[in-house]
Amino acid sequence: MSKHQYLFNMEKLTKIVATISDLNCSVGFIRSLHEAGMDVVRINTAHQQPEQTMDIVKNVREVSHKIPFMIDTKGPEIRTNNSEQGISLEEGETIRLQGHATKQSNKDCIYVDYPEIVQVLSRGSNIMIDDGDIELAVIEKHPGYVICRVQNSGMVRSRKSVNLPGIEIPLPALNEKDKEYIRFAMDHDMDYIAHSFVRNKKDVLAIQEMLDQRGSQVKIIAKIENQQGVDHIDEILDHVSGIMIARGDLAIEVPAERIPGLQAEMVKKCIRRKKAVIIATQMLHTMIDNPRPTRAEVSDIANAVFSGTDAVMLSGETAFGKYPLESVKIMTKTVREAEKSKTFTVDSEVMPHDNQISVFLSKAAVRSIQKLNTRAIITDTDTGKTARYLAAFRGRTPIYAQCYDQRVMRELALNYGVVADHMDVELSKKDFIKHTLTRLIEKGEIHDSDLIVVLAGNFGKKAGPSFVEISTASNMIQDQKD
């Protein structure tokens, strides 16, 4: 079997995060997305209440106990207030803008939910609404409000994002709804909190403090979507499990032409630090309304795969789009095709962890892919640390991680190349290898004659790996019977 034929049959390595809303979250719908390639369910809390979120959680868990949840919090953002029918704007006209917690916007004034917005604006400031679809320029500043000139025609609707490029806004890291959802995440055993508009480590530590008070194992993903987040990426990475490169807001805060370079740089930083990285926003945006993607969108997904990202994400495409299942299928096909031609090199700059034996054996396991054309790595893991370290080398074969903890199994669903399963009991070395290989052969993931690498330990699950074994799957199974 050729390399390309083999890659076509095996699990894809790059993961897919799909946003699910309460508008479309039936068990059948979720199952269809999961079977098509969805690995992680994202829930955007900006447009939901906890009781609606609970409906999604129940239905996902009915489909599979292996699917992790990512709760996306609102974070320190500004949005337009509600309006009855939206406000139509024409290029060149002027309109008043004012901050207020509750007032409805109308044809004379756009209200936003940050009461102090006028204090941070000045004449000449730009205001971007709804991911930059509408641009306003401040031409007059008055006590309590500003007068803006409309730069392009369009409609301002309720609860749309408001960005102030180049302006640092002293918003608190967490609002009350964020805190409510962090408690929800802890109460209902969620896996990840993706916090919006992270500016520095203080924003992350505010969440971690809440988690620590309850002894929660929920992990934090920092959404990087402003210049401050880019500037402080290293200190942010010190305190999170990964990042999401949210290119929609980021491309408003930062010149759009800089985004590809920043994206590539941040992906590389995450890989070398063994942190998960998700590339998000408008990956298949046209499929919200159309059954087929543009060539540019397909290339965008492929380039994300070539860069080594852990995951790519769908937002409106699956949350409220007309073609959600088709979007997941197209993304899965594109990922697999890109992985066939992706260059494989072992990155010597991946940061080692503190178990030197594990570091040495992991590198040997990964290099066997390059030197011996091994088809898969099998390992057992207690915390997921070894599996993540293996994943950081971005090999071209899957890492089958047998997990002692169901939470770790779900967490690893976000990491590149890791196919995680739960072991109900701690099996012996012989039973663990035999059980795993037999199951993978029955599923068609590997074949009897394939060279397999086993990275495991003889001294208990807490001790980490202590040996590497390389042989064909059939030889290993026979050896365990003898």
pLDDT in tens, 149-190: 999 999 999 989 899 998 989 999 999 999 999 999 999 999
pLDDT digits (tens, 9 = 90+) for 328-384: 999 999 999 999 988 876 666 788 777 788 888 888 888 888 788 899 999 988 899
Give the pLDDT confidence score for residue 3 in this predicted structure.
46
Quickly name the fold that domain 78-163 has. Answer: M1 Pyruvate Kinase; Domain 3 (2.40.33)
Cα Rg of the chain (Å, integer):
24
Amino acid at site 233: I
Q: What are phi and psi of 76, to 5 degrees?
A: -75, 75
Q: Tell me where in the chain the CATH 3.40.1380.20 domain(s) lie.
A: 356-481
Domain(s) labelled CATH 3.20.20.60 in the chain stretch across 12-75+174-339
Percent with pLDDT over 90 in the chain: 75
Q: Which residue has the higher pLDDT, 146 or 342?
A: 146
Distances (CA, A) of 59 to 95, 283, 327: 45, 26, 20
Q: How far apart are CA 447 and CA 452, in angstroms?
A: 10
- Topology adopted by domain 356-481: Pyruvate Kinase; Chain: A, domain 1 (3.40.1380)
- Residue-level pLDDT at 480: 63
Q: Which residues are catalytic?
A: 42, 79, 223, 281
> Model pTM?
0.92
pLDDT of 178? 95
The CATH code that applies to domain 12-75+174-339 is 3.20.20.60
| pLDDT reading at 426 higher than 80 | no
Structure-derived torsion over alpha carbons of residues 310, 316, 318, 320, reported in degrees to the nearest 10: 170
More confident residue, 446 or 218: 218
At 350 the pLDDT is: 83
CATH 2.40.33.10 region(s) of the chain? 78-163
